[in-house]
Amino acid sequence: MSNQFDVIVIGAGPGGYIAAIRAAQLGFKVACIDEWKNGKGGPAPGGTCTNVGCIPSKALLQSSEHYDQAAHHFADHGITVEGLKMDVAKMIARKDTVVKQNNDGILYLFKKNKVSFFHGRGSFVKSADGAYEVAVTGEKPDTLTAKHVVIATGSSARQLPGAEFDEKLILSNDGALAVTEVPKKLGVIGSGVIGLEMGSVWRRLGAEVTVLEALPTFLAAVDEQVAKEAQKIFVKQGLKLELGVKIAEVKAGKKGVSISYANAKGEEQKLDVDKLIVSIGRVPNTTGLNAEAVGLKLDERGAIVVDDDCKTNLPNVWAVGDVVRGPMLAHKAEEEGVAVAERIAGQHGHVDFNLIPWVIYTNPEIAWVGKTEQALKAEGRAYKAGSFPFIANGRARALGDTTGFVKFLADAATDEILGVHIIGPFASELIAEACVAMAFKASAEDIARICHAHPSLSESTKEAALAVDKRTLNF
Ligand code: FAD
Ligand code: NAI
């Protein structure tokens, strides 16, 4: 029967489409089901990441960064720009083109790898005779069966009670990526990754951005030294940041949104903005799966319960990415997708959760991998720290971007690298060296002894490694 597969993958975000491709590479007959629709109702595989996440946000961050450079930094290079203007509609259209290129790329990859793609919602019907039956509902309803099912249904923005997303005034990431003119005043609730990245886009284009954060600490998961530096820089750039707030009420009116909240001292405050982005975390997508039909176990947050190997409570049913525990990152979802496909094939797929890098694509970028200094202190682990500022790096000076530093944390006795933290230009690219080094259990001295090209930002990585042994050469 043509609708009998070895593996059915539900969801074609980075977790699902990569799992499907890897399973097909390993010789399985694979189906992948995804319900995301583009503006014309057609398939748009790639999930949150491609449609309303990683890719479109980076497209807008790039456009707004170009504008900011032209407005404030070209003059340093002797370039005068007169009559600088921002065509927001064109910026959004470019972003949509980038998204479509990625959607099309995934459809091409499915064809290339002989993955059968089904556009619609996938939900469990039953399990019988060692196989699962999954219904596809959509324009072309279908029923598929397979021995293995990989669930990669992702996540959606968490709503603030009493402030439902209308995507016109109260925006999730979806609406925040589709604003058609620069708001005069933009409010952001939640100073996490989305709040900072999307706040940066609209601030660079001229919006007055106020971020309201519940926690008393800024970027609590980030290395404290980096978080402090970031806070100082963002505030200097013009971001208004209020920590330790308690939101009381959010009211959307005809023209804007009014937010009542208590500040850190408990004083009642009011903020009126043209638009409000609510970025207070995300919730797993499990409602459409009909999990009850097969007895799939969910936790109290609605996430699918899995073990370290992404196995659910059901035989041969796996789950990866945002719909399970762990950081909600595209590359984490991908790694889990690959590992699951390999486990289905009887191989030993592995994901090292300590080696998943994080990047916040603000300017300066923030990137890190491994342990923070505060975590090592809390563990009582003896460590050595070394850092190197970009201001002492020739390439950074030539670029005209000398903010930030690279910081190494290494075991006091063995010198093994335990964490690397970067704030500064191209931190997102520089962090890869740290991931490779840590995957090979390198010591700080190993990095310090490797020849790095001159002039390059990566010399700051080498110098920070040298700093662990207090022997920087250029600082
Ligand atoms: P998703 O990408 O959410 O994909 C799930 C797919 O499953 C969707 O297409 C959905 O429609 C589909 N689906 C759900 N239920 C069903 C069903 N029953 N039947 C059929 N299909 C279904 N991460 C990074 O690593 N780097 C970044 O720069 C980054 N930027 C981000 C920016 C924003 C604004 C946001 C919101 C997120 C960002 N992320 C980033 C996070 C990243 O997008 C997610 O971690 C990643 O998309 C998770 O992948 P996934 O495959 O688990 O799920
Ligand atoms: P987040 O978890 O990064 O940040 C949410 C913030 O909102 C936290 O600081 C939290 O304390 C605060 N908050 C929660 N409730 C609040 C309330 N009631 N009032 C005020 N503040 C409140 O979540 P975010 O920004 O929504 O992003 C979701 C996830 O998407 C991220 O955790 C990340 O995994 C992923 N992402 C990754 C990106 C990247 O890798 N560059 C970019 C964007 C998103």
* Per-residue pLDDT tens digits for 143-166: 999 999 999 999 999 999 999 999
CA of 204 to the centre of ligand 1 (A): 26
* Per-residue pLDDT tens digits for 284-318: 999 999 999 999 999 999 999 999 999 999 999 99
Report whether 118 contacts 32 (CB < 8 A): yes
Provide the residue ranges of all domains of the chain, joining segments of one domain with +: 4-157+283-353, 170-280, 364-468
Residues 156-179 as b/e (b if ≥16 CB within 10 A, e otherwise) read bbeebeebebeeebbbbbbbbbbb
Q: How far apart are CA 263 and CA 271, in angstroms?
A: 11
Q: Phi then psi for 429, rounded to 5 degrees?
A: -85, -40
Residue 322 in contact with ligand 1 by CB distance below 6 A: yes
Q: How far apart are CA 358 and CA 114, in angstroms?
A: 32
Which one, of 210, 182, 218, lies nearest residue 269 by Cα? 210
Instruction: Walk along the chain (475 residues) and give the pLDDT tens digit of each residue.
Output: 479 999 999 999 999 999 999 999 999 999 999 999 999 999 999 999 999 999 999 999 999 999 999 999 999 999 999 999 999 999 999 999 999 999 999 999 999 999 999 999 999 999 999 999 999 999 999 999 999 999 999 999 999 999 999 999 999 999 999 999 999 999 999 999 999 999 999 999 999 999 999 999 999 999 999 999 999 999 999 999 999 999 999 999 998 999 999 999 999 999 999 999 999 999 999 999 999 999 999 999 999 999 999 999 999 999 999 999 999 999 999 999 999 999 999 999 999 999 999 999 999 999 999 999 999 999 999 999 999 999 999 999 999 999 999 999 999 999 999 999 999 999 999 999 999 999 999 999 999 999 999 999 999 999 999 999 999 999 9
Superfamily of the domain at 364-468:
FAD/NAD-linked reductase, C-terminal dimerisation domain (3.30.390.30)
Whether CATH 3.50.50.60 fits 4-157+283-353: yes
Whether CATH 3.50.50.60 fits 170-280: yes
CA of 322 to the centre of ligand 1 (A): 7
CA of residue 413 relative to chain centroid, distance? 34
Which atom of ligand 2 is nearest to 245's Cα? 20
The three-state DSSP-derived secondary structure of 390-431 is HHHCHHHHHHCCCCCEEEEEEECCCCEEEEEEEEECCHHHHH
Which one, of 315, 342, 336, 338, lies nearest residue 324 by Cα? 336
* Per-residue pLDDT tens digits for 365-375: 999 999 999 99
| Ramachandran assignment for 406, one of left (phi > 0), alpha (psi -120 to 50 degrees), beta (any other) | beta
Q: Do domains 4-157+283-353 and 170-280 have the same CATH topology?
A: yes
* Per-residue pLDDT tens digits for 205-264: 999 999 999 999 999 999 999 999 999 999 999 999 999 999 999 999 998 999 999 999
* pLDDT at position 2: 73
Q: Is 77 a catalytic residue?
A: no
Mutate to test the pocket of ligand 1, among 21, 54, 278 (most ligand atoms within 8 A of CB): 54
Q: How far apart are CA 366 and CA 431, in angstroms?
A: 9
* pLDDT at position 1: 45
Residue 333 in contact with ligand 1 by CB distance below 6 A: yes
Task: Point out the ligand nearest to the CA of residue 156.
Answer: 1
